[in-house]
């Protein structure tokens, strides 16, 4: 089995024929119409199992010059271990995820704990589209237009208590819908966490969509977190619970190996992963695939002006 490493193998990039094959052919067969599988709009519809439009307004404050990674790459090259460990598994297997009804509870050290239905959550604040650079711990990166609003808008509604220091995010773990949960590769449910100030930073996005459409299941439908200055594993998918705590929460990856996956996991080209360098990355973009040249990784993934002050005085080699 391939595990976390920093190379993108040619076999990791879904061959064109394969991804244009799988869901389209299944859907076309179901519709009794193979001819349709060739239409470009049909192909995009098939990549997203859930292609409702979201009325999101582009926020120019988060524009980047980088080329977008392309809808196909963003939706077929994924990490979502609940659906398997290969990059194409989430696209192939996440169709079984039921995203309605869906509730998310916000609990722990808050004045007003609440359980919200996903449709209420969608309306809680105006939806923005923000283009973020995303850096995976494995050494690849993408540029993705996400749709959502700052998590702080939700957290301020529940009124964190003075004793709250951390925010824990808990993903769904349902064996019936998620075949990967039968394996013991991670301690399920998938858990992640941020310090409260990181969670309240405007950059931290409660995310419902990408490219102006509801999140495809393989990207963490119906709601996930996106934290672009940290390695991708901090951005928990398909979350059902947000808990405010006094103690630093245990996270699935640090429980897997605390030496390799720290709590902070800020993108930092100066701190190597124990098994590989983090100094460069391969940017996955349309028509580049495995041949994408390596580019230098930036401190805090290039978001230092927005986040560095939260870590002043901290030794980031120690708090990796």
Q: Shortest distance, CB of residue 128 to ligand MTE, whole angstroms?
A: 18
Q: Shortest distance, CB of residue 191 to ligand MTE, whole angstroms?
A: 9
Q: Which is nearer to ligand MTE, 200 or 215 (CB)?
A: 215
- Residues contacting 110, CB < 8 A, separation 6+: 158, 159, 160, 161, 164, 244
- Report which of 171, 179, 202 is spatially closest to residue 59, judged by C-alpha positions: 202
CB 204 within 8 A of CB 150: yes
Task: Report if residue 169 touches ligand MTE, rule: CB under 6 A.
Answer: no
Sole window of 24-32, 44-52, 232-240, 260-268 interacting with ligand MTE (rule: CB under 6 A): 232-240
CA distance 278 to 17: 32
- How many residues sit close enough to ligand MTE to count as binding (CB under 6 A)? 16
Task: Report if residue 233 touches ligand MTE, rule: CB under 6 A.
Answer: yes
Q: Which of 23, 237, 241, 273 binds ligand MTE (CB under 6 A)?
A: 237
Q: Which is nearer to ligand MTE, 122 or 230 (CB)?
A: 230
Packing angle, helices 40-47 and 16-31, rounded to 10: 90
Q: Which of residues 129-148 bind ligand MTE (CB under 6 A)?
A: 136
Task: Report if residue 232 touches ligand MTE, rule: CB under 6 A.
Answer: yes
- Residues contacting 76, CB < 8 A, separation 6+: 14, 19, 47, 87, 88, 91, 218
Q: Which is nearer to ligand MTE, 93 or 219 (CB)?
A: 219
Q: Which is nearer to ligand MTE, 122 or 284 (CB)?
A: 284
Q: Shortest distance, CB of residue 235 to ligand MTE, whole angstroms?
A: 5
Full 3-state SS string of 63-129 = CCCCCCCCHHHHHHCCCCHHHCCCCCHHHHHHHHCCCCCCEEEEEECECCCEEEEHHHHHCCCCCEE
Q: Shortest distance, CB of residue 142 to ligand MTE, whole angstroms?
A: 6
Sole window of 22-30, 152-160, 229-237, 294-302 interacting with ligand MTE (rule: CB under 6 A): 229-237
Query: How many residues belong to the chain?
Result: 320
Q: Which is nearer to ligand MTE, 94 or 154 (CB)?
A: 94
CA distance 316 to 292: 29
Q: Which is nearer to ligand MTE, 49 or 78 (CB)?
A: 78
CB 167 within 8 A of CB 155: yes
Task: Report if residue 235 touches ligand MTE, rule: CB under 6 A.
Answer: yes
Sole window of 75-83, 119-127, 154-162, 265-273 interacting with ligand MTE (rule: CB under 6 A): 75-83
Cα separations (Å) of 190 from 39, 82, 263? 37, 8, 14
Element at 161 (helix H, strand E): none
**Would you call the peptide bond into 189 cis, given omega within 30 degrees of 0 as the criterion?**
yes
Tokens of 160: 């964190």
Q: Which of 190, 208, 261, 300 binds ligand MTE (CB under 6 A)?
A: 190
Binding site for ligand MTE (CB under 6 A): 78-82, 136, 171, 190, 219-220, 232-233, 235-238
């Amino acid at each position: 089995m391939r595990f976390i490493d920093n190379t993108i193998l040619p076999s990791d990039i879904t061959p064109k024929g394969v991804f244009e094959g799988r869901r389209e052919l299944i859907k076309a067969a179901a519709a009794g119409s193979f001819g349709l599988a060739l239409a470009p709009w049909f192909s995009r519809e098939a990549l997203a199992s859930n292609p409702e439009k979201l009325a999101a307004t582009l926020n120019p404050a988060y524009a980047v010059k980088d080329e977008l990674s392309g809808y196909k790459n963003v939706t077929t090259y994924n990490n979502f271990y609940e659906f398997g460990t290969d990059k194409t598994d989430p696209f192939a297997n996440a169709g079984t995820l039921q995203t309605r009804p869906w509730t998310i509870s916000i609990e722990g050290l808050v004045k007003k704990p609440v359980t919200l239905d996903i449709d209420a959550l969608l309306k809680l604040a105006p939806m923005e589209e923000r283009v973020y650079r995303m850096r995976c711990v494995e050494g690849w990166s993408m540029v993705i237009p996400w749709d959502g609003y700052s998590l702080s808008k939700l957290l301020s509604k529940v009124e964190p208590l003075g004793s709250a220091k951390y925010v824990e995010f808990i993903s769904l773990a349902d064996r019936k819908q998620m075949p990967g949960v039968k394996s013991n590769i991670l301690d399920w449910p998938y858990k992640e966490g941020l310090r409260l100030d990181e969670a309240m930073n405007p950059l931290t996005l409660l995310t419902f969509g990408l490219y102006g459409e509801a999140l495809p299941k393989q990207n963490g439908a119906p709601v996930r977190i996106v934290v672009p200055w940290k390695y991708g594993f901090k951005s928990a998918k398909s979350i059902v619970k947000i808990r405010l705590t006094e103690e630093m929460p245990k996270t699935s990856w640090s429980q897997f190996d605390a030496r390799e996956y720290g709590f902070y996991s800020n993108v930092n080209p100066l701190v190597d992963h124990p098994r590989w360098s983090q100094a460069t990355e391969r940017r996955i973009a349309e028509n580049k695939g495995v041949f994408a040249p390596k580019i230098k990784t930036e401190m805090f993934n290039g978001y230092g002006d927005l986040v560095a002050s939260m870590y002043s005085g901290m030794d980031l080699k120690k708090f990796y």
